[in-house]
Chains A and B, each alone.
Chain A
Amino acid sequence: MKVEGVVLIGIGLFMAVVSVGYWFWSGEPSGTAMLIGAVLLGLLPGGYYYWWAKRMKPRPEDRPDSTIREGAGVIGSFPHGSIWPLVFGAGAFLFGLALAFGWWFLPPALGLMLVAATGVTTQSRRGGTI
């Protein structure tokens, strides 16, 4: 966990140096704002990972000498398949059509996305296949 944190914090710190330099050299606000965004993107998750790394035992994938057996246990739930991404994607597609061709695409778009969001949530809760 530590290396992950350090990588992100490192990027964040570098961007901090760049944004400070950029602001004082150019005084241009839009670029500085975006650079600060990049700083936060490095520091926030990086800090989170680092904070946890300090408070937990290294995971098997953090230790160079761990054996494959040490990874035993539940590592996550991986569905074999799910219809809902397709439904949500169809909704988003209609949403895109609404942006380009007319607002009448919007109700079905939002409807499909809502159905898909509900579906995917209940699916996770039930834990069944599809």
Chain B
Amino acid sequence: MGRNKLSRFKHLKRVFGAGGLIIILATVLSACNLPAFGGYKGATAQGHDTHMLYAWLVIAAIVVGGITLSLLLWAIFRYRKKSDTIPKQFQYHIPLEITYTVIPIIIVLIVFFFTVNVENKVDAVSTHPYVKIKVTAFQWGWNFDYPQLHVDVHGVTLQNPEMVLPTGKTARITLVSADVVHGFYVRQFNFSRYAQPGVVNVFDLTVRHSGTYQGQCTQFCGLYHAEMLFRVKSVSPTQFWSWVHQEQAEGHSKVVSQLPSPVVKVRSTNSRTKI
């Protein structure tokens, strides 16, 4: 009886061990083509890195969740009441408890390692971006300002203003808010960032495939939050420049004077910060 139980626990340990091994193997064999798992594969280079992390997390979650759920269901079906005998009242099994403390710690550390890795890639800001864009979110619309090019795109709610980017090139986005907290989010980019008063957020977007991507404010910002839409249109660099020249010719460049200029305190992510 006792022997049998001991071997049962050993068997359990093996199951746990195998789960951990699968995860380690999976992460080591970081293959490049993973299914989308319901998400987007990332239209930007940054978003693709995020997607890879997401996909591996899904795999890890399926393995861990699968093992846990099967143990749970096994316990439920196997040990439902069969007689009135009182089962053995065991309460502690230190090696088993240590096992299921240590294995999660290892999994967590692996996840953390890859998280930091991807996080650094996503948050990296290149020194020489191809184009710089200042994005100002306001109630309820968006302003895309290309300060070096003297182009300015402005639109409210369902006007769905369009930010044009050159495909394959790095665009530096400087994100600010004119009033309350907004969220800059494009679903295919797997990326969102708050536009906040008093904070300047800087990040890079390197779109991989040309196309038009629908974006939307994600952080609730008041009455017309649901309609605070924008689009990102990525075109080849040649088309990008012809768009710029056309805009300049049409005189769309204007200073949006009615927008209060936000307080600017530049900071970089991942460093010692003071807000």
A and B touch in the complex (CB under 8 A): yes
Interface 0/1 of B240-275, CB less than 8 Å to A: 000000000000000000000000000000001111
Q: Which residues of A contact B273 (CB under 8 A)?
A: 26-28
Report chain B residues within 8 Å CB of A26: 272-273
> Within 8 Å CB of A28, what residues of B?
273-275
* Cα distance A27–B272 in the bound complex, in angstroms: 6
Chain B: minimal CB distance from A79 (Å): 40
Determine the chain B residues whose CB is within 8 A of the CB of A27 once the complex forms.
272-274
Smallest CB separation, B81 vs chain A (Å): 33
Interface residue tally for chain A (C-beta within 8 Å):
5
Residues in A27-76 with C-beta less than 8 Å from chain B: 27-29
C-alpha gap A55/B183 in the complex (Å): 57
Query: Quick one: closest B residue to A27, CB to CB?
Result: B272
Once the chains are docked, how many angstroms separate the CA of A96 from the CA of B133? 47
From A25, A27, A29, residue with most partner B Cβ within 10 Å: A27
List residues of chain A with CB within 8 A of the CB of B272: 25-27
Give B179-196 interface residues, CB cut-off 8 Å to A: none
Measured CA separation A27–B267 after assembly (Å): 13
Q: How far is the CA of A29 from the CA of B273 in the complex (A)?
A: 10
What's the minimum C-beta distance from B196 to chain A, rounded to whole angstroms?
15
Q: What's the Cα separation between A90 and B92 when bound, in Å? A: 51
Q: Which residues of B contact A29 (CB under 8 A)?
A: 274
Interface residues of A in 9-28 (CB under 8 A from B): 25-28
User: Distance (Å) between the CB of B147 and the closest chain A CB?
Assistant: 30
CB nearest to B275 among chain A residues: A28
The distance in angstroms between the C-alpha atoms of A26 and B272, with both chains bound, is 5
A28 to chain B, nearest CB (A): 7
Q: How far is the CA of A25 from the CA of B270 in the complex (A)?
A: 10
Report the bound CA distance from A82 to B232 in whole Å.
65
Least CB distance from A31 to B in Å reads 10
- A-facing mask of B22-48, CB < 8 A → 1, else 0? 000000000000000000000000000
Q: How far is the CB of B207 from chain A (nearest CB, A)?
A: 32
Closest to B274 in A: A27
How far, in whole Å, are A25 and B273 apart by their CA atoms in the complex?
9
Q: Which residues of B contact A25 (CB under 8 A)?
A: 272
Measured between C-beta atoms, what is the minimum distance from B199 to chain A in Å?
A: 13
Docked Cα-Cα span, A26 to B267, in Å, equals: 13
7 other contacts beyond A25-B272, A26-B273, A27-B273, with CB at 8 A cut-off?
A26-B272, A27-B272, A27-B274, A28-B273, A28-B274, A28-B275, A29-B274
A-B contact pairs, 10 of them (CB 8 A): A25-B272, A26-B272, A26-B273, A27-B272, A27-B273, A27-B274, A28-B273, A28-B274, A28-B275, A29-B274
3 residue pairs, one from A and one from B, having the closest CB atoms: A27-B272, A27-B274, A28-B273
